[in-house]
Chains A and B, each alone.
Chain A
Amino acid sequence: MSFTLLLDITIGGLILGGLYALVAAGLGLQYGVARILNVSHGEFIMLGAFATYSLHMLLGLNPIISLVITGPILFGLAFLIHKVLFMRLRKKAESAVIFEGNSLLVSFGLLFIIQNIALLFWGPDIKGYSYMSETVDLFGIVYAKNRLFAFLFAVVMGSSFYFFITRTRMGKAIRAASQDVNTAQLMGINTHWVLGFCFALGALLAGLAGSLISMMFEMTPTIGLPYTIIAIIAVVLGGLGNILGSLLGGLILGLVGNLVMSVDPGLSMIAYYMIFLLLLLVKPTGILGK
């Protein structure tokens, strides 16, 4: 394998990995802290992508500006969903296992609902637009500008997320809640607010990832589920409950995925599942898990 090819695969993998890390960090918050295995996570990505598309096509809005608009809207929507649906489930559930099972099923209901609404709104056809698609030469390899932008944006978001979790008071509360919600509550943390915030922040990250995806790839209302699955695998890979592990898991999956795709694009999903199943069998607690 020549050096340029290796470099090409690595850089491509980092670009993809940055995107996956954002997606995985979102799900990591929702599952690691709020204990909701949100299978409709990918639908929020899809909503972010289509919202950016529509704002760009109808109002001519720059996709970078819609990043600032769609994210917060999805944050609010998800906060409301958490309050109305998941908080009620949490109060009713007799045990943590029952809550996890029920919230999984409810999030499946959300998947159906959101996907159906998107189908009614945008139709089943493939949509896309061109933005920053002119290319740049980097170490002798050519990249579209939008991919480099997506990578830079993911790096900035990923590191601010890292600092938010490790350095701020809210981050500390989130880490405490991820270890033990009841004890965190006893320590005076408003867990209702923290759990809702984590779920909503997860949706915000999904929305941002969606906006980035809309700049690079074409989309249909059904693009969500594969991203959800990648996010689940990345979260388990990094270690369930370890919020920063999901960033690492996403990055690793992106690198591996891009490598496999360069051999045979049809094999990438199979590779993800193989990694996932082997991991569950060998070390279900993940790379950074205890």
Chain B
Amino acid sequence: MKAERFTWMRHQLLSPWFMAGVLLLIFLSAAPLLFAPYTIISITNVLMYIVMTVSWAFFSGPTQYLSLATAAFFGIGIYVSALAGEVLLFPLVITLGALLSFLIAVLVGLSTLRLRGMYFTIFTFGLSELIRHFVLWWEVNITGTVGRWVVAMDHTTVYYAMLTIGTVTLAVTQTVRISKYGLALRSIGDSEEAADHTGINVNTVKLFSFAISAVFTGAAGAAMATRWTYIDPSIAFNPLYSFMPVLMAIFGGITRIHGQIIGAVILTLLADLLLTTFPYYYMLLYGLILVVVILFVPGGLTGLQTDLKRLWQGGSGK
């Protein structure tokens, strides 16, 4: 069993996808030497959405629990950065953001274990909005401020921080995915009762995978906050951050990690392009893309690729 597992791991490590990933990582590490600041900032943005999309899909993909709490975890990271940025070192700020998101996710997870389907989705959405309104109220009435300044970092530091978070996110989610916990997660998505009967501790697996997915989003928030310099509750807890990862994962193909990454890359760059070229029609175009994707490519780009392959090989497509 051990030996089999070892050969299988070695097979994974030698797969072309993994090799390509390592090469890409080396290339990205050298990118600040090669490209203009604008490109680096743009890549940082892409990395941020990759982190959010992959960690969202890590939990919601296999379990089919549609979570809309990403904005909450991201915003918590941002606020940690704003409050602790002056006293703590940058890596510590990021760690703190990740830890706090983890703790909140455990609390949310514990209270939502009984909720299923739409109730879970509405709860997570309501929770993000509750936190946003609470922080807003707290700022207006207790501290007497709306919005804060964040200690700014230069773009290369933020870039490397985001590259590290991204690499850790991919490494951890992939390791868990191919482990027995990944299998347990998928079986929960297929049928929670059946998973329970095969001896999987459904609640623990759900709780921890939800909390793990929050860690990276919190870290990403803490790192990105230093680039914006000014934040307020409606920037930090913008509900759009909850929907973007869902859209990106579905657009690329929710079941595969390369689909999620491709979705995040394409839609982030597209959003950048739309925002700079058509600032007044940005939301309109984004909404249209969302509707068209859900209607016509529900399996995402990678799903489309599979369909085309099947068609090419002469099999009957679905």
Contact = CB atoms under 8 A, between A and B. Distances in A.
Are A and B genuine complex partners? yes
A169 interface: no
A116 interface: yes
Interface in B59-111: 64, 66, 111
Interface stretch (B4-12, B126-134, B158-166, B258-266): B126-134
Nearest to A280: B123
Given A110-B287, A113-B287, A116-B283, A281 B111 contact: yes
Given A113-B287, A232-B122, A274 B130 contact: yes
A112 B130 contact: no
Given A92-B298, A100-B118, A280-B115, A109 B291 contact: yes
Given A100-B118, A273-B130, A280-B123, A105 B284 contact: no
A113 B294 contact: no
Contacts, number: 105
Interface stretch (B16-24, B31-39, B214-222, B243-251): B243-251
B276 interface: no
Interface residues of B, number: 39
A105 B246 contact: yes
Given A277-B126, A281-B111, A116 B137 contact: no
B115 A37 contact: no
A89 interface: yes
Interface stretch (A140-148, A202-210, A262-270): A262-270
B3 interface: no
Nearest to A84: B295
A92 B296 CA distance: 10
Contact of B290 (A105, A115, A267, A276): A105
A22 B290 CA distance: 29
B303 to A, nearest CB: 13
Contacts of A284: 114-115, 119
B300 to A, nearest CB: 12
A229 B115 CA distance: 19
A16 interface: no
B260 to A, nearest CB: 16
Contact of B247 (A105, A110, A229, A269): A105
Contacts of A267: 137
Given A105-B294, A270-B134, A273-B133, A112 B284 contact: yes
B281 A280 contact: no
B255 interface: no
A109 B288 contact: yes
A169 B136 CA distance: 48
Interface in A84-131: 85, 88-89, 92, 97, 100-102, 104-106, 108-113, 115-117, 119-120
A190 to B, nearest CB: 24
Contact of A266 (B130, B140, B247, B290): B140
B117 interface: yes
A179 B92 CA distance: 53
A283 B127 CA distance: 17
Contacts of A88: 295
A102 B284 contact: no
B304 to A, nearest CB: 14
A106 B294 CA distance: 7
A111 B283 CA distance: 9
Contacts of B250: 105
B286 interface: yes
Contact of A273 (B66, B126, B280, B298): B126
A210 to B, nearest CB: 20
18 contacts: A101-B66, A102-B294, A104-B66, A105-B247, A105-B290, A105-B294, A106-B290, A106-B295, A108-B243, A109-B286, A110-B287, A113-B291, A119-B283, A233-B126, A270-B133, A270-B137, A273-B126, A281-B114
Given A105-B250, A112-B286, 11 more contacts: A37-B118, A106-B291, A108-B287, A110-B291, A229-B126, A232-B126, A266-B141, A269-B129, A270-B130, A273-B129, A277-B127
